[in-house]
Every structure is written in C-alpha cells, then in structure tokens.
C-alpha cells in the first residue's frame, strides 16, 4: 500500500474544466437552460469530474491547475480518494464519474453490465451503476426504466426482432428534483426533454439494444449489442419507480435526504432554506466528497479560504482535506456524494 502525503497547499477543493461529447441526441440546453459556455453545435454530455481514460478532466485553478484527474490519482493517492477506495487506487482508477446530460432527443435503449461481467468481457473495465438527478423536464417527460411486464430473454429478443419492443418497456414520468437509481442490469433510456446530472461508476461500457430505428451522422444505423445485453439485463425489474428519499436531518435551515444508497456511492440531497444556512463536514481520510450545487449560490469554506460556486457546478474535496463548511448565499439545493463504509 502506498500512502502519499502532500503539502497542505495541494489539498484543496478541486474544480475541473469539463469535457464535452457531441452524440446525435444532444442539443443546446446546457447553454440555454444552465447558462453554460459550450462549443458550437450539438452538445450531449458535459463530463464534469472524470478520471476515465477516454475523457479525463483537468483541474482549472490552484497549485494543481492543468493536472488531469488520473494524474492527481498518481500524485495524491489515498490523500485524494481515501481508505474506502484503496481497491480502486490499486487498479489506478478514480471511483466515480460525474456528468451533465442534455437529452434533446431520446437516447438509445441500453443496459450496463456489473463489475463481474465487465471484468470478464470488457478487458477489466468496471461495471456501470449510476443515478440521475433531474434538473429539468419538459411537461409530460418520462424515462424508459425497466420492463413493463415480466419477460424471458427469449421473449425480449423476439419482441425486438418483431419490432414491438417499445410496448415491453416501462415508462416512468419524471420532474425536476427527482432522483432515479439505475443499478447495473437495468434496461433504460433518457427520453427527450430531460436535462440531468449523472453520478456513476467510472465506466463507459454500454450495451445498446434498440435505437428507435434511426441512423447516425454517417447515415447508417448505430451498432447494437443485443447478445451481451441479454446476458446482463435484470429481467425481474418490472415497473420500478423513482428513488424514495430517506430523511437524514431536518432543521429550520436545512434538509438532508439520501436520494441514492448503493455499494459504490451514496448521494445526499441537501436543501438550504435561506441565506447563510450552512453545514459543516470533515474529510477525515476515509473518503473524498463531491459537492454539486443544483440551484442557487454558495461557498465551500476550508482553512480560512473559500470557493464560490453557483448552479450548476461541482467540486471534489480530497479525502485529506479536513474540516470544511458548505455555506448557502441564498436558498439552494446541493448534491453530496461519497463512497460508503
């Protein structure tokens, strides 16, 4: 086991330059609805905090400016990720990946493998369990999430080949402020009119099973991965619903709720009810924390310094940061993400 101890100036709340993806289903809503500066043309995803080899994000300020998240992992080690992520550190992987997604058109119907399947079939890649926090949903918006009725793998394939798979897919209405947990094995698709934040394992492994009979920019149908998908789909997942929040704490000034709990990450929704409401925490070496502000304005305060944040943005607090405080400058909603014990 390698433990890195860095100078205090190199342990501070980290923010990153996003990396943009231009899949065919994207649009301009990161600009028009979130006020983001984005490149011209279609922008489907903004990778906000990423250690994935395909699109690593780089620190945008401070002593570590310019270093990518994989480089930080090598440099800071446990001081960055904490003891709960030792196994991931040994694999040279930052545990999580944070994105914003703009579904201007429906995404493909797809499924992700778990760790065991990905390890065996995808060159040691991680599986992909994820959660979605809905930032904006047009009236009548819905997701594809799970199955409408119980099917066998053979029946699923037959429906797909007969062109009537859509009737077997469960549609879940959603609105802003809701959370949906997508464990590996879930059939799912983000549909048009939805803007969301995604917290997920550090993986980009996706098996596409249906793409609404459309073609890609080259005029050809995008490839499907039906055989692998049928091996990993959870066919017992029939008509699942949104994640039901679990209350942690409620005071006159704030409300904390779990909106996802799983072995890979816990996500809390922290609602500050007024100006100068605050929450103190401590990164004690066990886990990093990611804080994302979904609405409003606020600050992260540590060691007599402060970082200003406004919606929608994220910061990574290294595991060795020590004491910190999240302070609301007006009513605001935050996501708090960390690796559970």
**Which residues have a catalytic role annotated?**
208
Bridge partners, 289 (sequence order): 317, 338
């Amino acid at each position: 086991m390698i433990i890195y101890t860095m100078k205090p100036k190199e342990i501070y709340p980290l923010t990153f330059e996003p990396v943009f993806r231009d899949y065919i289903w994207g649009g301009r809503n990161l600009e028009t609805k979130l006020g983001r500066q984005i490149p011209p043309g279609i922008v489907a995803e903004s990778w906000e905090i990423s250690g994935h080899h395909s699109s690593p994000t780089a620190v945008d300020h401070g002593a570590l400016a310019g270093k990518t998240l994989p480089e930080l992992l090598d440099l800071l080690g446990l001081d960055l990720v904490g003891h709960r992520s030792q196994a991931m550190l040994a694999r040279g992987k930052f545990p999580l990946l944070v994105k914003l997604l703009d579904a201007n058109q429906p995404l493909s119907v797809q499924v992700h493998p778990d760790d065991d399947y990905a390890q065996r079939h995808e060159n040691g890649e991680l599986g992909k369990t994820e959660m979605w926090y809905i930032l904006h949903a047009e009236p009548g918006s819905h997701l594809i999430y799970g199955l409408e009725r119980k099917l066998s793998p053979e029946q699923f394939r037959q429906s797909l080949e007969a062109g009537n798979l859509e009737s077997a897919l469960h549609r879940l209405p959603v609105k802003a402020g809701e959370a949906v947990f997508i464990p590996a094995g879930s059939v799912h698709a983000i549909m048009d009119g939805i803007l969301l934040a995604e917290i997920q394992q550090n993986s980009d492994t996706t098996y596409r099973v249906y793409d609404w009979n459309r073609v890609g920019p080259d005029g050809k149908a995008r490839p499907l991965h039906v055989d692998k998908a049928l091996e990993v789909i959870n066919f017992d997942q029939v008509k699942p619903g949104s994640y039901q929040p679990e209350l942690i704490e409620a005071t006159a000034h704030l409300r904390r709720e779990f909106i996802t709990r799983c072995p890979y990450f816990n996500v809390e929704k922290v609602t500050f009810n007024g100006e100068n409401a605050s929450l103190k925490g401590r990164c004690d070496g066990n886990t990093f924390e990611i804080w994302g502000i979904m609405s409003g304005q606020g600050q992260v305060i540590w060691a007599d310094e402060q970082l200003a944040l406004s919606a929608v943005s994220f910061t990574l607090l290294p595991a060795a940061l020590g004491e910190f405080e999240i302070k609301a400058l007006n009513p605001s909603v935050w996501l708090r993400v960390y690796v559970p014990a």
